[in-house]
A and B are shown apart, each in its own frame.
Chain A
């Protein structure tokens, strides 16, 4: 009997564990180690953050689902890996620390035959003074990255809307809280959902709404922008994005590294080296992401974290990490199997794998401050990678070490993204977009790097319907209800 341990019960880890348990059956064991008691459909946190959904609607308990699937569930966080075992143990193992199940703070060692690291991001609030401490949100701004954060954001939003009702003009600042953030899409959705709610409440005239982002231009989204097929034209995402901001009267600052957050004020540096300040009454700033800080040790107990993980804490996989100039970046730099090059029974999926480089054009201010988005790894690629890695490991378990590994390169994979711009079955809107491939391939598509037949975008009520239906569909799938396997990632 082989044991697969999956670290992280988020989009990638949950997908990998549930498919692996289904494919392996009772002959082998699948263990999930994750600190959360509940699964969260993170994209719908945006609606929790504006009070349009409750925390309960976007989460569910993991324990009964894992019991049904025959998965061993440890509510714990992984602390370190021993891919060669230790002086006392011959097999590789992971050290975990419980966060629930009546064993909070207790440590344990779990041996594995195969391991998937799907621990997602550390929300690195501590990278910007005043934004927070370590992975904890600070007191001055709000966040929508977790369901709890989003619930808090909604309460704070209600407070400023009450002030607007009393005739007090309010300033809203939403965007990224550091020069190296990713996930601009989430901030984009939140700013337009906030604007939509304020407009619906008849308070739009009482709010100044401002966007601040580390993207060099509007619509970069950490993907270097994209060219979409819109109404028969191939249009830059910059035009598409600027259009929505102008239409909704939302002012914007781009190329900004937020370097300090204080009560009611952020300080920032721009790509041209100039410094600025922006005041606010309500602010949601996305933190930069890092790896969750797992350590690794060899058999002798020496620290080999640098061998297994990149300096940003994400796990090294089969990518080409050779430092290269932007002009020399290739689609083939991106990983295909997500297998660790040193320890072949270690894989990473979702945000936890180390990308070979960013996708957007690298940029620095004259003061040497790096201001460029890091690459997004959104839900669809995270799910597809999780499933591909689970497939590979099942093959290895069933057919031995020479078995075929499944491939899922982000340079050969598309993504469907639906960015909400306001919730409502009759008056909601969302930008429905597809991009193919996620990582541009200029050898195949020398013009825009992407196939414009499959890269398109449009804003409308239909997008909102799709986004809302996807919420129910993915919650249903994650709960492993009948026919869950036919719903694509």
Chain B
């Protein structure tokens, strides 16, 4: 059975043991085009708010 990427990393280094590592679903969502398109709009709106508060 193939080893999950996060299993490999946890074993690799003591420091990684306490880190939060994304699982399969979180990783997939990061490059899921539909979800990322929605995030694109939301992040842009949030950034515009910060930009407008800063000028």
**Chain A residues at the B interface, C-beta cutoff of 8 Å:** 239, 242-243, 245-247, 249, 251-252, 380, 384, 412-416, 426-427, 429, 432, 434, 436, 454, 456, 458-463, 465-466, 488-489
Contact = CB atoms under 8 A, between A and B. Distances in A.
Contacts of B54: 380, 384, 412-415, 436
B9 to A, nearest CB: 5
Contact of B37 (A426, A432, A462): A462
Interface string B1-44: 00001101110110110111110000101111100110110011
A405 to B, nearest CB: 16
Contact of B21 (A247, A384, A427): A247
Q: Is the interface of A mostly helix, strand, loop or mixed?
A: mixed
Contact of A416 (B9, B37, B50): B50
Given A380-B54, A462-B43, A245 B49 contact: no
B43 A458 contact: yes
B31 A243 contact: no
Nearest to A461: B36
A95 B10 CA distance: 59
Contacts of B47: 416, 432, 434, 466
Q: Is the interface of B mostly helix, strand, loop or mixed?
A: helix
B52 to A, nearest CB: 8
Given A380-B54, A416-B47, 11 more contacts: A242-B18, A245-B16, A246-B21, A249-B9, A249-B12, A252-B15, A415-B54, A427-B31, A429-B31, A436-B50, A489-B55
A243 B30 contact: no
Contacts of B10: 246
Nearest to A436: B50
Contacts of B18: 242
B6 to A, nearest CB: 8
Contact of B16 (A246, A413, A458): A246
A252 B55 CA distance: 37
Contacts of B12: 249
Given A242-B15, A456-B46, A460-B31, A247 B39 contact: no
Given A242-B19, A251-B15, A465 B31 contact: no
Given A429-B30, A461-B30, A462-B43, A414 B50 contact: yes
A488 B36 CA distance: 24
Would you list the 5 A-B pairs with minimal beta carbon distance, nearest first? A246-B19, A462-B40, A246-B16, A414-B50, A462-B39
Contacts of A380: 51, 54
A463 B43 contact: yes
A119 B47 CA distance: 28
A435 B36 CA distance: 21
Contact of B31 (A252, A412, A454, A461): A461
B23 to A, nearest CB: 10
Contact of A460 (B5, B29, B53): B29
A337 B27 CA distance: 44
Contacts of A249: 8-9, 12
Given A247-B9, A456-B46, A466-B43, A414 B53 contact: yes
A252 B6 CA distance: 17
